[in-house]
């Protein structure tokens, strides 16, 4: 798998992590830690003040013990906390984790590992049932080569157990001198409504504590995708579909052929790649064309993640797009689904290295922990299409993604299908085929990296397995015939 970016951001917001260990003797030298901030004693408890908005704070016992317990409180927004038991170093360790996020508010409970620097985050996984603001008692132990994670919330019905059998590679990689400890991760997003507090209590309390609290209201922000709110949890491997240049201005039938494939292919998510509604992207056409097509049904089902195109901006301030999808400027966002990280980029506004969007993307990539990264926007950097030349202003965005673990880039704009060989470690697809019709012609001399060029309506189906670190694609016609396939790693 590709190298993951480090967890450190730039916005200064406070976080306190407090830990109470049943055998803590007051000697801070007994612990190692990662992250920034100050460690101190607070009424006999080991505490940590964290000054960055994004990052890991870790407490690791410098002894070999097979079990760790913690009371974990998850905040609203994006929050995760967990435990490690088998710990050799930062490149080799086993963990269990509880996590909630705006894209998956009911959460994920998983066992994962980092082995020789490579991450497999969903070795054992269960989705749903978690509640932001509640406190869970979490346990991780290893006995006879089997790791067991248990999470329980006594104030509700959540009581789940995961198991994972260590492989010979695990045993070799973790080696001797393993440690037990606690890890808490915190990401502060604008949708959190300000500073938040996550608490981690490590030890073995007499009974699990319960501390539910209501979540604050969520306001739109470029950190999350508003259409993701309330969508069902998604299990890995993730299957999603994508197409751009979707609905014509005359009838919903113009995009029925591509939209019907969303359900037919069993997609967990559907991405649009811009130019959702022709010609001007007005609210009236969104409600009378797009909304009456299968793409509108995907929106109503909560699985649609739209990107904005140039035609949306033909209505002042993209007001029709914003009103129909319930969005607010800026129209870029990021979200996670089943261990896959998505970046939805607005290729119509500033993308140079000094722009707000570029700086936002830089910080989000630095905070990302998901092993597979998909970016999508409207204007392709690489294209063999005859009508629209390459969108060279997207080069800085491409380079930034390629340097920080990007895997797939999906674009529209050219009304055709094109698959490229990997460029700088990333694979680009142009899928401007949401609407009926033949589409645009190709240049007589294609781009040197172009592998496949097709015309006609269709949709790209993508399956991503973040555990195996692989992805596969199939460009599928409305009659369910497959015109092209691809694959790669992340």
Which residue numbers in the chain have pLDDT < 70?
1-79, 81, 87, 89-90, 102-103, 154-157, 175-236
Q: Do the Cβ atoms of 387 and 440 come closer than 8 Å? A: yes
pLDDT at 72: 67
Would you call 3 exposed, middle or buried from its count of C-beta atoms within 10 A (0-12, 13-18, 19+)?
exposed
Q: Tell me 423's DSSP state.
A: B
pLDDT at 317: 94
Q: Shortest CA distance to 80 belongs to which of 486, 411, 421, 368?
A: 368
pLDDT at 379: 97
Output the six-digit token pair for 225: 């995708």
> Which value, to the nearest 10 degrees, does the dihedral of the CA atoms of residues 477, 482, 486, 490 take?
70
Between 395-402 and 356-367, two packed helices, what is the crossing angle to 10 degrees?
A: 10
Residues 6+ apart with CB under 8 A from 441: 385, 386, 387
Write down all domains in the chain, each with its CATH number in brackets: 12-202 (2.60.120.560), 226-489 (3.60.21.10)
What gap in Å lies between CA 24 and CA 46, rounded to an integer?
A: 8
pLDDT at 16: 28
Helix (H), strand (E), coil (C) string for 354-382: CCHHHHHHHHHHHHCCCCEEEEECCCCCC
pLDDT at 144: 77
pLDDT in tens, 13-46: 222 223 333 344 444 444 444 444 444 444 444 4
Output the six-digit token pair for 256: 């029925």
Q: Tell me 299's DSSP state.
A: H
Q: Do the Cβ atoms of 255 and 296 come closer than 8 Å? A: no
What gap in Å lies between CA 349 and CA 330, rounded to an integer?
A: 9
pLDDT at 70: 66
Phi, psi of 269 (to 5 degrees): -140, 155
Output the six-digit token pair for 136: 């869970």
CA distances to 118, 229, 331 from 320, rounded to whole Å, are 44, 20, 13
């Amino acid at each position: 798998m590709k190298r993951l970016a480090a967890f450190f951001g730039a916005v200064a917001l406070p976080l306190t992590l407090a830990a109470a260990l049943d055998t803590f003797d007051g000697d801070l030298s007994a612990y190692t830690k990662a992250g920034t901030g100050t460690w101190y004693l607070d009424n006999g408890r080991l505490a940590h003040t964290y000054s960055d908005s994004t990052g890991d704070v870790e407490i690791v016992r410098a002894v070999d013990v097979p079990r760790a317990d913690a009371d974990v409180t998850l905040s609203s927004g994006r929050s995760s906390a967990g435990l490690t038991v088998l710990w050799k170093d930062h490149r080799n360790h086993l963990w269990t984790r509880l996590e909630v996020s705006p894209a998956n508010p009911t959460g994920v409970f998983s066992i994962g590992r980092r082995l020789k620097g490579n991450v497999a985050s969903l070795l054992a996984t269960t989705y749903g049932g978690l509640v932001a603001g509640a406190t869970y008692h979490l346990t991780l132990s290893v006995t006879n080569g089997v790791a067991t994670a248990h999470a329980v919330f006594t104030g509700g019905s959540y009581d789940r157990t995961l198991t994972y059998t260590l492989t010979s590679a695990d045993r070799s990689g973790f080696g001797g001198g393993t440690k037990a400890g606690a890890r808490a991760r915190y990401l502060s997003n604008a949708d959190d409504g300000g500073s938040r507090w996550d608490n981690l209590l490590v030890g073995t309390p007499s009974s699990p504590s319960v501390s539910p609290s209501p979540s604050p209201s969520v306001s739109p922000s470029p950190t999350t995708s508003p259409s993701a709110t309330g969508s069902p949890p998604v299990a890995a491997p993730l299957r999603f579909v994508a197409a751009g240049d979707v609905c014509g201005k005359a009838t919903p039938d113009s995009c029925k052929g591509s939209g019907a494939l969303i359900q037919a292919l069993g997609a967990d998510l559907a991405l649009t790649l811009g130019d959702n509604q022709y010609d001007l992207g007005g609210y009236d056409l969104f409600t009378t064309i797009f909304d009456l097509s299968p793409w509108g049904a995907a929106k109503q089902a909560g699985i649609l993640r739209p990107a904005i195109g140039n035609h949306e901006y033909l209505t002042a301030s993209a007001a029709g797009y914003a009103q129909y999808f319930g969005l607010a400027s800026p129209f870029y966002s990021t979200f996670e689904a089943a261990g896959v990280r998505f970046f939805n980029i607005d290729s119509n506004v500033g993308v140079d290295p000094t722009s707000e969007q570029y700086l936002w993307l830089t910080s989000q990539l630095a905070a990302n922990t998901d092993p597979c990264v998909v970016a999508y926007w409207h204007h392709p950097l690489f294209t063999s299409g005859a009508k629209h030349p390459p969108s060279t202003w997207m080069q800085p965005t491409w380079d930034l993604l390629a340097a920080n673990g990007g895997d797939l880039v999906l674009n529209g704009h050219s009304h055709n299908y094109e698959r490229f060989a990997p460029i700088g470690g990333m694979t680009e697809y142009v899928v401007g085929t949401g609407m009926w019709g033949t589409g645009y012609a190709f240049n007589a001399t294609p781009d040197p990296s172009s592998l496949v060029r097709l015309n006609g309506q269709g949709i790209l189906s993508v399956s991503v397995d973040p555990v195996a670190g692989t992805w596969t694609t199939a460009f599928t016609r409305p009659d369910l015939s497959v015109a092209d396939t691809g694959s790669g790693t992340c």
